[in-house]
């Protein structure tokens, strides 16, 4: 029987009930900022959800780009996903160990960019899973090559040129997922050569504000309030950014939970915009 995957979120109890289903693949998409002092590649064999495969965000990105975590082309993504034993017929659940959807939502968004809709994020992630005393394993599975076909969805992605055209336009709203201090230009950027501040006209909603203490996403009414308090009109298109295109996807996940479908992620995000010398930058609140 086909796995009926609740999307875009699944609960820890749902996943526990479906572990071992042939059509289900679990992905550990954990990735952390250098300042967090955590090594997801070392943490994975030390403990992960049974049967999970590890998604190396740095390796499974465009290796030719000077920018971090940029999307690869469709052919490269196909090969990478097949090598992990994932096929187009699979239902996928992605999680991370941050407790704030720091990177699991990036995995969710990437699969959707390449045409795979049967994917969800584990609500609460590995933090909640472990807190509930659920099964953890240390063995790493070798899976057979998968049969995965990718198809590009340009509606979910924006480039620097796309974003530049939005400044001063009513076409779409810009929403930045970084911390308030980085957005306002009061805190230095972690990457050398990147200016402080934000894209002119952008609003700010730190992605960490969408999670409850147990790592689960806030209830829909509270989520909606967070977006509206940030100055976002949920009836209009939204373009999301962050430092390198990772945590912006947590905002995309929040919008998807609210039923908002007209959103896209600026893949180069602030590393590209703030690292350029011919792009305008604002500081303070918008």
- Tell me the residue length of the chain: 286
- Using the 8-state DSSP alphabet, how is residue 40 labeled? H
Give the C-alpha separation, 41 to 43, whole Å: 6
31, 96 contact by CB (below 8 A): yes
CA distance 239 to 229: 17
What's the rounded Cα separation, in Å, for the pair 235 and 254?
Answer: 15
Q: Which of 242, 253, 264, 265 is catalytic?
A: 242
The CA distance from 241 to 238, in Å, is 10
CB 219, CB 246: distance < 8 Å = no
Question: Got the DSSP string for 143-203?
Answer: PPPP-------GGGEE-HHHHHHHTT-SS-EEEE-S-HHHHHTSS--SSTTPPSSB-TT-E
Q: Running DSSP on this structure, what letter comes out for residue 98?
A: S
Reply yes or no on whether 242 is catalytic: yes
Contact between 134 and 249 under an 8 Å Cβ cutoff? The reply is no
Tell me the catalytic residues. 242
């Amino acid at each position: 029987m086909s796995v009926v995957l609740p999307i875009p979120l699944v609960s820890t109890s749902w996943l526990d009930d479906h572990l071992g289903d042939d059509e289900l693949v679990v992905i550990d998409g954990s990735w952390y900022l250098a300042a967090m002092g955590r090594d997801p590649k070392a943490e994975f064999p030390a403990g992960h959800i049974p049967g999970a495969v590890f998604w190396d965000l740095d390796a499974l990105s465009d290796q030719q780009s000077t920018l971090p975590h940029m999307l690869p082309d469709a052919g490269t993504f196909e090969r990478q996903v097949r090598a992990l034993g994932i096929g187009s017929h699979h239902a996928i659940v992605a999680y991370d160990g941050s407790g704030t959807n720091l990177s699991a939502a990036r995995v969710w968004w990437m699969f959707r960019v390449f045409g795979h809709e049967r994917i969800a994020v584990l609500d609460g992630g590995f933090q909640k899973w472990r807190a509930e005393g659920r099964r953890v394993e240390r063995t790493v599975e070798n899976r057979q090559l998968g049969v995965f076909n990718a198809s590009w969805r340009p509606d979910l992605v924006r480039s620097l040129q796309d974003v530049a055209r939005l400044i001063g336009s009513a076409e779409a709203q810009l929403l930045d997922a970084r911390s308030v201090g980085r957005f306002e230009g009061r805190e230095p950027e972690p990457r050398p050569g990147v200016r402080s501040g934000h894209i002119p006209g952008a609003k700010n909603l730190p992605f960490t504000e969408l999670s409850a203490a147990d790592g689960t996403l806030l209830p829909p009414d509270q989520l909606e309030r967070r977006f509206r308090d940030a100055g976002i009109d949920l009836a209009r298109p939204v373009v999301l950014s962050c430092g390198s295109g990772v945590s912006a996807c947590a905002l995309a996940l929040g919008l998807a939970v609210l039923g908002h479908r007209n959103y896209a992620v600026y893949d180069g995000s602030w590393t590209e915009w703030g690292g350029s010398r011919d792009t305008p930058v604002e500081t303070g609140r918008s």
